Structure formats: structure tokens, C-alpha cells
Amino acid sequence: MPFEYNSKEEFKVKLTEWIGDVFYDILPEHGYEVREEQVYTAYQFADAVCNKKVHLAEAGLGTGKTFAYLLSAIAYARFSGKPVVIACATTALQEQLAGCEGDILTLSRLLGFEIDARMAKDPRQYICDVKVEDTGESDLISTEMKQWINKTKRGERSEIPTISDRVWKRIGWDESMVCELCSSRGFCKLVKAREHYRPTKDLIIAGHEIFFQDLWTREERIADGKLPILPSYSAVIFDEGHKIMLPAAMQAGEQISKEEIDTIILSLEDIQGARDSFASIIVAVEDASNEFFTCLSSRVIPDERSERLSLRINDTLLRTASTFHKTLGELLFEMQVEQELYNESLPMSLIQAYEGQIERAIRALNRFVRNKSTDIIPWVDKRDDSFWVVPKNISEMLDQHLFRKGLPVIFTSATLSNEGDFNYFIRTLGVKNASKSTVGSPFDLEKQAVVYLTQSTNSREDRFTKLVSLLSQNGGRALVLTNSMEEVRKIRKSLEKYPLPFEVLWEDKGERGYLVRKFREEETSVLIGTNFWEGIDVPGEALTMLIVWQLPFPSLDPIIEVQRIEAKKQGLDPAITIDYPEMGLKLKQGCGRLIRTEEDHGAIVILDSVIGEPWEKVVKGALPIGVSINFL
Ligand code: SF4
């Protein structure tokens, strides 16, 4: 422990005193300035963990909330004898906290003791041994990569940062890999990754996805005699807490992929000596699956910007889903009745895995057909055409699995409230009796930042000319934010013609954590991407210009679509009620990337049209308070 105490009550007092010592003595000795907003927030975190509260902590730009929550988290983990989970919205944020030269290592050096913090990343950040084997001697795998694959223990993407998305797709784990069927299960690198973080003493730096995957399956896994995904923990702190709803819903949802069903059918077709009735059921499932997925693909609403595609549900889609559901039920029944026969042809573990997959598919179709989307959200995942059904309202699940457990649960973000009103967030979470705190930015933003807007509607060509000119004038040192990866590629194509005297880093050309580190280190570099609106910290001269290429309006994402429909039902304008506030929130987060310290300075340039547009007020409200607005 960083301090001594003799009782639970004394722990609370000593924690508060220690926090005071750290912020008023230890950090200033190392050149850190005391920020009253940071100290206040740190005391709020301490109060929340000691009194096991659900707490919403809104901390404005530059408050330094990371150090503020880390102190309470470390002390509470040691006090309780169980690690505290810090759940992050992105891998970049996980790296920023627990990567080499991350915030935790910095804090550890400042405090003079070791902090045991390990990352529990999304499984997609690790290689899958089977995929590596399948990729074999492909030209895509360079000699350097082969050497890395041979020697890596956990196969973590951040260990080979220059790898592109295209190559990673060939070797990284993804949802299409059915681990239940895999002969390497229990021995592969993904398991080694879990074994690495399981004995963590202080902090588990998890992704939101993996946190909810654990939360929703924890009790079932324990009942089945399996280890939960995360070890037992004493508290959870959601960094970027405003972003939990999508991963929470997805992890509570069900997914059906045609590829998975086809694999089952192919395997079952090979069973020797099966009865005729079994063979007919397999044919019926195959027909029903083809019919359902064909109908599904004809009912998706195209959207270039969203990975999730909404559906136009009609009677035909519901009928094909119903038939598919019925035939899968018959197949499952037949498999269970004739299990002994099939067991002669297929290993028992495989049959059980198939049964599990079929049961999940049945559950998804049942929820879809029965609910007709009244309390579920269906969508098609653009990346693999899989069908998803997720609950519309996860607040009850959150209450049952998290809030009622009596652990300290903290949500922190720069954007939890609308001008101090937390009601929207509280309603969405369904949390009762949450305590709240809010602090603004300690920076002198009026002096440190300036904003430029364009006066008239920009043609694409105008916008591009301005972009090149701005980057040249600023000598790089810029973060360019777009609204889609497609747009990143389009900018690259246009920018190829211009020989710029600094490095341009592209989001789709490297691992995100690596790109952010490189952007920080190569002072004149430019970073262009669509997923850097939040969660990255680049202080100093490496970022003196933030260019908003497009305003971040939400896409046709089904989760947003549902909110739009709900707003419409209540007689509200969905653009004003959902789209503009969503855009404003994301823009506010994006603007927050520019000024990270009291020494930082720079310009925010919005190249998208603002003046005279219906969203002008929202855009201006999202800009840092007090900054002067100029025109290009
Ligand atoms: S268990 Fe899963 S992650 Fe591991 S090798 Fe098999 S498919 Fe890949």
C-alpha cells in the first residue's frame, strides 16, 4: 500500500490524505502543476470507491482525470485484494494507459513504486493460430512477420505495429472463427493472452467489449465450471463512459452467420448411416438458410459509413426467419434424439459445439420473429453479412449484473451531461441513486486556441485545396478527422499528387496505438483518420492544428435509427433530437484533442459547411468555451 491504515474507516481518510500528498507535493516536485479541478475529481473518485457508489464524473478537457482515477483504483485494488477494472472504449486508449510509456508507467515512476497493470484486449487484437496456418506461405506474410509469428508468445497486434488492416484480416482472430470447434482450443495464443492478464494484482485495462462479454457470461461460465473471461474484480471505472451502450448491447445480442450454418450442414451431411428423416431435415435447413439470408440481403438499407446495416422488415423476411427457426429446431431435436449414432461419426465435443451454435441461432431467430423489432434491434454486419439481434434496452441487464452487485462503478468522460444535466445518461443506463460530479476545463482556452470556419458552402475541390494549403502552412503537425474510412482513402488518393515535406500517417495503414505514438514522436507528421475523434492524447508541438474535414454526423447505424424512430413517435424532429446532439458530442470530443496542456496552442479548422446551416448553433456550442471564431 502507498500508505498505512488500520481499519476500513481509516483507509478512507488515509486515501484522501495520500491523494492530497500526490497532487500537492509529489507531482509538483516533478514539475506537474496543481489543478484544482483534477484534485476535486480525484476526491470524488475516492469517495465513490470507498462508499461503493455508482458515480458519474464529468471532467472537462485537460482535467487530468486519468491520474485522478488511477490513484483511487490502485489503492482500492490493494485494499480489497482484487484488481480494479479500467474499461476503455478503444485499444488506443488502452495503449495510452498501459502501453510502453503510457500513463500508468509514468505514474509508477512518479510515485516510486511498481503498478501491476495488464491489458485485456479485444480478441480481435490477437492472432488466431488456425488462420495463421491457413494463410501459410502466402506472399502477404513478410519475412519479418514470419519471424514475429514464430517467436511471439501472445500474438498481440501491437507487437508488430506496422502491419496493415489487410494483412491483419488474414491472421487476426475474428468472429467467424468458431473457437468451440477448434482443436487448438486451450493451447493457442488467445488463451495465452488471457493467462497473462488473469493474475493481475492492481489494474486490468480492458476494452468495453471484453468487459461486457465477461459481465453477461460470467454467471453462466461459473455455473458450467468454466473460468470467467476476467478474473474477479473489486470495482470498475468506465473511461469514455458515454460509449458503453453499443458494446453492452452487442455483447448481449445474438449473431447468426451463414458461413457457420453452412459449416454445420456440410459436416452433418458426412455422417454415415443417418436416417432418411435426418437427411431431409438437413436439406430443409439448407434451403431455409439460403432463403433467409437471400431475403435478408435484399432488405438491408445501404450505408457506406456504418458497419451495421439497418433492415426494412417485411412479412417475407419474417416468414423466412420463421421457417429457418422451425427447421433449426427440428434439426436440433433430431441431433439430440440420435446423438449416439452421430457420435460414431463426429467427436462429441463437435456435436455439442454445433448444438450450442444452433441453439444460439434459434434464440436469435425466435427473438426476431416474436418481437418483430418491438424490443430488439436487428441488423446485418457489413463485414461478414452476419445477422444480429440485440436488446433495445439493456438497462435492466445492467442493473441485474452490475449495479445490484454493490461494487463501486464509475463512469467518467468529458461528455456525460448536457450543460450539467445528467438525466439523459442516467435514463439510458437505468441507474438509480447515482452520485454526480462535474468540472470544466482548467485551461485558458481563449488564449490557447482559435477556431476557423469556412464562410460559404465548400465544393470538394475547394475543401481539398484548403486542406493542402493548411497542412503546408502549419508544417504538418495536424490531425485530420473524417467521417468514414472511405473518406480517408479518398483523401489519400487526392493527396498523392502533392509532395508534402512531412510524413502522413493513415489510419488504415497501421495499428492505431502505433500510429498515435508515431504521430506524437514525429513532430511534423500528420495523422488522418476517422476513429481519432476521442481517446488520444497528443500534447505539445506534434498537434497544433485540428482539421475537421467533415462534421461527424451519425450514420444510418441501426442503434441510432432506433433512437430516431423513437423520437419521431414522440412527435420530435429526429435531426434536432438525435443527429445534431450526437454530432455535437462527437465534435466536442474531437476539439478536445487539440489542447492537452497549459502550454498547448493551436487552431481548430472546420472545413465542412457551418455558417447558415441548421446545425450552426450546435457546432458553435461544441467548440471550446471562449475561443475566438474566425473565417477562412
Ligand atoms: S481456439 Fe479460436 S483463436 Fe485459438 S486457434 Fe482456434 S479458432 Fe483460433
Q: What is the CATH number of the domain that holds 363?
A: 1.20.1440
Look at residue 617 and tell me if it is in a domain.
Answer: yes
Look at residue 390 and tell me if it is in a domain.
Answer: no
State the Cα–Cα distance between residues 248 and 398, nearest whole angstrom: 9
This prediction has a pTM of 0.76
Average pLDDT score over the chain: 89
Q: How far is the CA of 390 from the centre of ligand 1 (A)?
A: 25
Q: If pLDDT is split at 50, 70 and 90, which confidence band does 159 have?
A: confident
Look at residue 1 and tell me if it is in a domain.
Answer: no
Same structural domain for residues 536 and 415? no
Q: If pLDDT is split at 50, 70 and 90, which confidence band does 299 have?
A: very high
Q: Sort strands 376-381 and 387-391 into parallel, antiparallel or unpaired.
A: antiparallel
Q: Which of 199, 214, 235 is at the close of a domain?
A: 199
Task: Evaluate: CB of 185 within 6 angstroms of ligand 1.
Answer: yes
Give 331 or 335, the one with higher predicted confidence. Answer: 331
For 355-392, write each residue's pLDDT tens digit. Answer: 888 988 999 999 999 866 678 999 999 888 999 999 98
Predicted pLDDT at 372: 65
Nearest to 93 by CA among 133, 66, 59, 56: 66
State the Cα–Cα distance between residues 322 and 370, nearest whole angstrom: 9
Same structural domain for residues 416 and 357? no
Look at residue 381 and tell me if it is in a domain.
Answer: yes
State the Cα–Cα distance between residues 464 and 159, nearest whole angstrom: 35
Q: Which residue has the cell 487476426?
A: 172
Best substitution site from 131, 149, 185 to test ligand 1's pocket, by max atoms within 8 Å of Cβ?
185
Q: How far is the CA of 184 from the centre of ligand 1 (A)?
A: 6
Look at residue 3 and tell me if it is in a domain.
Answer: no
Atom of ligand 1 nearest to the CA of 183: 6
- Is the pLDDT at 508 greater than 80? The verdict is yes
Same structural domain for residues 89 and 225? yes
Q: What is the CATH number of the domain that holds 209?
A: 3.40.50.300
**Atom 4, ligand 1: residue with shortest CA distance:** 188
415 touches 585 (CB < 8 A) = yes
Q: Which of 156, 176, 199 is at the close of a domain?
A: 199
Side-by-side strand order, sheet with 376-381: 254-256, 387-391, 376-381, 308-309
**Atom 3, ligand 1: residue with shortest CA distance:** 128
Same structural domain for residues 555 and 572? yes
Look at residue 618 and tell me if it is in a domain.
Answer: yes
Same structural domain for residues 190 and 217? no
Best substitution site from 130, 176, 191 to test ligand 1's pocket, by max atoms within 8 Å of Cβ?
130
For 32-90, write each residue's pLDDT tens digit. Answer: 888 899 999 999 999 999 999 999 999 987 788 999 999 999 999 999 999 999 999 98
Best substitution site from 134, 181, 188 to test ligand 1's pocket, by max atoms within 8 Å of Cβ?
188
Same structural domain for residues 151 and 190? yes
Q: Which of 158, 174, 199 is at the close of a domain?
A: 199
Task: Evaluate: CB of 176 within 6 angstroms of ligand 1.
Answer: no
Look at residue 567 and tell me if it is in a domain.
Answer: yes
Give 534 or 453, the one with higher predicted confidence. Answer: 453
Same structural domain for residues 185 and 293? no
- Is the pLDDT at 311 greater than 70? The verdict is yes
Same structural domain for residues 107 and 225? yes
Same structural domain for residues 15 and 163? no
490 touches 538 (CB < 8 A) = no
**Atom 8, ligand 1: residue with shortest CA distance:** 128
Same structural domain for residues 169 and 263? no
Predicted pLDDT at 547: 97
Predicted pLDDT at 175: 66
Same structural domain for residues 212 and 195? no
Which domain does 143 fall in, by range?
A: 124-199
Predicted pLDDT at 238: 97
Q: For 559-588, what is the mean pLDDT?
A: 85
Query: Domain count of the chain?
Result: 4
Q: How far is the CA of 366 from the centre of ligand 1 (A)?
A: 29
Same structural domain for residues 494 and 612? yes
For 246-291, write each residue's pLDDT tens digit. Answer: 899 989 999 999 988 998 999 888 777 777 888 899 999 999 999 9
Q: For 222-248, what is the mean pLDDT?
A: 92
